[in-house]
Amino acid sequence: MGQGVAVQETDAPRRTAEPATRPLLLFAAFAAVSLLIYRAALHGPFLSDDFGYIVSNPYTSGLGWANLRAIFDPFGPARLYTANYAPVHLLLTALERQIFADDPFGYHVVNVLLLAANATMLVALLRASGLPVAGALAAGAVFLLHPANVEAVAWVSQLKSNAALAFALGALLLHPRRPAAAAALFVLGLLSKASAAFAWPMACALTWARHSTADAARRETAWLALWGLLLAGFALPEYASFAGAGEAESTAFASAGEQLRTIAAIGARYLVMAVTSVGVAAFQEPAPVRSWLDPRWLAAIAVGAVLAWRAATMLYTRKPEAAWWIGAAAAWAPVSQVFPFLNPIADRYLYFMLPGLIGGASLWLDSGLRPIALRRAAVAATAVLAAVFAFGAAERARLWRDETLLLLDAERHYPDGATAHYLNARRAANQGDAVAAVAELREAWARGLDRFMAFEQDPMLAAIHDTAEFQDLIREMAGAWLDRARQRGHGTPAELLVMAQAHVARGEYASAAALLEQALAAGGPFEAVLRNELAAVRIQERGGTETVVPSPQETPDRPTSP
């Protein structure tokens, strides 16, 4: 049923939309279900990166001209502060702050409603690709209720993921008839989060499937060429932001073979998570694949070959199914570790792969299940899967009520990960065992948890703060932070402030004061914080007793997640 529409040469709709798929009604139903599933997270507090984007980010504190100019400057300090060039995300966050202030409830509701909108647009796109109503609705429900989406929806600062996917799906829907509007939405998606780039190759494949000749596709192709140029232009400030803020730093793979095996294994893991939700976890820390006989690598080769064959066959025969597989692959490629970075796998990355995987699988099933009874059975099985996912999503939404619950979830899935060692350090500190606590913190540091300011400010580590072991660790971590900052070579006021705090942690007050004065001379939104910090450092420099430990609101807690 989904195969005969691929080469139609017409601008008319393939079929009249059925009442069950009318967008507003469907969105209302999806929104109601989503609010029910996520109700436990709606009153959850700001967590982790939320502080860097919302609570302490001066660039989203208002909508004045100075902030807008800083947000949209492709090579300015705001993009280094957030480690991404995402001005639309920052603009939307600033708008939310004007409306909701410090109450997380409104932010959570916006994310949930965007999830419902994304599921609605997914249904519309699948209908345009030829999938029957029941199949498209079932696929949309699976996406809406998938437990892997909880991280992207319940985490307030992941507004960037929800908005980027919404703009990308909107661009794909509009491109055949409103190419100019589609191009604008594609740009808005990129400027919300780079992951929206998956829409370009997917749009190219959909255009190829819609038209049997190059002449018929000429108008759409010209606009898609513009998409490509816009993507190339965006890539420059985006990579400079990510790498310049240190987010591209990662422990190198032992060999090219280890990197290849790990890339394949990450892809296989995402597939397992997509199909079953098994492996969904907070703050994932997968180990590299060190052996050629590792089952993750071997399974990835087999499954990858099947999917590549299917996508190539569908592309050759101009079937729209190919576009969905290509969209999933394009969403996976940037986070596959081809270019290594910290945090190599995360539920929120799967958020952009799921539409392609769900769409490709749905169209494949539709093409192979000719008897109506089999199709009904497939839809019924999908509905059962969606119900199972709904239960899992509701359970995971509860974790976002408290950051400790997220840390415990990460520890359960990765008992030798950085989070697990950090929690072990807290337990040892609570027992007054400074040596064991610091040993665990060193293990966490070796696995990438290197924010010395967080260790100093953690009340759960307060019992060991004054011990020589803890102070030595903080001095070492602060020194390593300073070395990396010097290697990056830029000195925004926010980074100079953190570097000054690193010098304070090492007892180097004169160096800290010099950096703070340099930051003040540069101007910017941190002036009040810098002056307070400098005054405290001067007291310490003169041998005073005032402790220089900035509050979380005064520390520029730069986000660390792409």
Assess whether 78 and 217 both reside in one domain.
yes
Evaluated on CA atoms 6, 9, 10, 15, the torsion sign reads negative
Assess whether 41 and 153 both reside in one domain.
yes
Assess whether 108 and 214 both reside in one domain.
yes
| 42 is a domain residue | yes
Is 353 in contact with 331 (CB distance < 8 Å)? yes
Please, where are the H alpha helices in 191-294?
A: 199-210, 218-244, 256-276
Q: What are phi and psi of 140, to 5 degrees?
A: -60, -40
Assess whether 524 and 380 both reside in one domain.
no
* pLDDT per residue of the chain (562 residues) written in tens, 0 to 9: 333 333 334 433 344 445 545 889 999 999 999 999 999 999 999 998 888 888 888 888 888 888 899 899 888 778 777 778 899 999 999 999 999 999 999 999 999 999 999 999 999 999 999 999 989 999 999 999 999 999 999 999 999 999 999 999 999 999 999 999 999 999 999 999 999 999 999 999 999 998 766 666 778 888 999 999 999 999 888 877 766 555 444 556 888 999 999 999 999 999 999 999 999 999 998 888 999 999 989 999 999 999 999 999 999 999 999 999 999 999 999 999 888 877 789 999 999 999 999 999 999 998 877 777 777 788 788 888 999 999 999 999 999 999 999 999 999 999 999 999 999 999 999 999 999 999 999 999 998 888 888 898 899 999 999 999 999 999 999 999 898 888 776 677 778 888 898 899 898 999 989 888 888 887 777 788 888 888 888 888 777 644 444 444 444 454 555 5
| 8 is a domain residue | no
Residue 115: which H helix or E strand, with range?
helix 104-128
Residue 504: Cβ within 10 Å count: 26
| 289 is a domain residue | yes
Q: Report pLDDT for 243.
A: 61
| 467 is a domain residue | no
Q: What are phi and psi of 147, to 5 degrees?
A: -60, -25
Residue 158 is classified by DSSP as: G
| 473 is a domain residue | no
Tokens of 49: 């990166």
CA-to-CA separations, 293 to 261, 289, 304, 559, in angstroms, rounded: 10, 9, 16, 37
Q: Which of 404, 429, 456 marks a domain boundary?
A: 404
| 440 is a domain residue | no
Q: Which of 361, 376, 404 marks a domain boundary?
A: 404
Q: State the Cα–Cα distance between residues 411 and 218, nearest whole angstrom.
A: 53
Residue 40: Cβ within 10 Å count: 16
Is 353 in contact with 40 (CB distance < 8 Å)? no
CA 524 to chain centroid: 28
Assess whether 44 and 138 both reside in one domain.
yes
Assess whether 52 and 161 both reside in one domain.
yes
Q: Report pLDDT for 8.
A: 39
Assess whether 540 and 400 both reside in one domain.
no
Is 95 in contact with 107 (CB distance < 8 Å)? no
Is 494 in contact with 79 (CB distance < 8 Å)? no
Helices and strands (DSSP H and E) totals, the chain = 25, 0
Assess whether 502 and 375 both reside in one domain.
no
Assess whether 224 and 358 both reside in one domain.
yes
Residue that is written with structure tokens 């069950």 in the block: 20
Q: Report pLDDT for 12.
A: 37
CA-to-CA separations, 164 to 198, 476, 529, in angstroms, rounded: 11, 39, 32
| 95 is a domain residue | yes
Residue 252 is classified by DSSP as: P
Assess whether 198 and 346 both reside in one domain.
yes
CA-to-CA separations, 394 to 217, 273, 284, in angstroms, rounded: 44, 16, 20
Assess whether 494 and 397 both reside in one domain.
no
Q: State the Cα–Cα distance between residues 484 and 536, nearest whole angstrom.
A: 25
Residue 404: Cβ within 10 Å count: 12
Name the residue among 227, 214, 133, 220 with its Cα closest to residue 179.
220
Q: Which domain holds residue 194?
A: 19-404
Evaluated on CA atoms 163, 166, 168, 174, the torsion sign reads negative
Q: Report pLDDT for 562.
A: 58
Assess whether 134 and 25 both reside in one domain.
yes
Q: Indicate the number of domains in the chain.
A: 2
Q: Which of 404, 439, 465 marks a domain boundary?
A: 404
Is 532 in contact with 546 (CB distance < 8 Å)? no
| 452 is a domain residue | no
